[in-house]
Amino acid sequence: MFGRLLMVLVGLLCAVIGVGFLLVGLGFLRETYVFLRTATRSMGKVIAIIEDDNDSSYPVVKFQLPDGEPMRFAGQVGSTPPAYQVGQSVEVLYNPEQPRSARIRSFLELWFVATLFTSMGGLFLLIGGVPLLSQFRPR
């Protein structure tokens, strides 16, 4: 009796966490989709690599707006070893109304966080859902 209740509670907790992660992931997917619909392309150059305390490397990219104004931004996703090299040309996407929101056109920069949260949400939902559903099967 107690073991069955514990299994249901753990399953419910995992399912709730899964739904939370899934909703956050879907929010990131939507945000990326909207960004891509409004984004303008440009070419940029990696001008520096920033390392954080965990030895993750983030590229710093410089590009020009159509009016010639220079823009700089740091990549949002770090990697070890560095995914980019100083001097490397990269395709940049940016919202013309908010050019400081620029991103490198790559899977890591555009989809990694959304994929991570959505996958974790699905996994937790599966882990939590199996014990919950097994409680309702006929005996």
DSSP characters over 6-57: HHHHHHHHHHHHHHHHHHHHHHHHHHHHHHHHH-EEEEEEEEEEEE-TT--E
Task: Let me know if residue 128 belongs to a domain.
Answer: yes
Task: Let me know if residue 45 belongs to a domain.
Answer: yes
Residues 111-131: pLDDT tens digits? 999 999 999 999 999 888 776
Task: Let me know if residue 121 belongs to a domain.
Answer: yes
pLDDT band at 31 (very low <50, low <70, confident <90, very high): very high
Residues 58-68: pLDDT tens digits? 999 999 999 99
Task: Let me know if residue 37 belongs to a domain.
Answer: yes
Residue 67, burial from CB neighbour count under 10 angstroms (0-12, 13-18, 19+): exposed
Number of domains comprising the chain? 1
Which range of residues forms the domain containing residue 8?
A: 2-134
Q: What is the pTM of this model?
A: 0.78
Task: Let me know if residue 139 belongs to a domain.
Answer: no
Task: Let me know if residue 23 belongs to a domain.
Answer: yes
What element of type H or E holds 124? helix 107-134
Task: Let me know if residue 16 belongs to a domain.
Answer: yes
Helices 2-38 and 107-134 cross at an angle (nearest 10°) of 150
Task: Let me know if residue 12 belongs to a domain.
Answer: yes
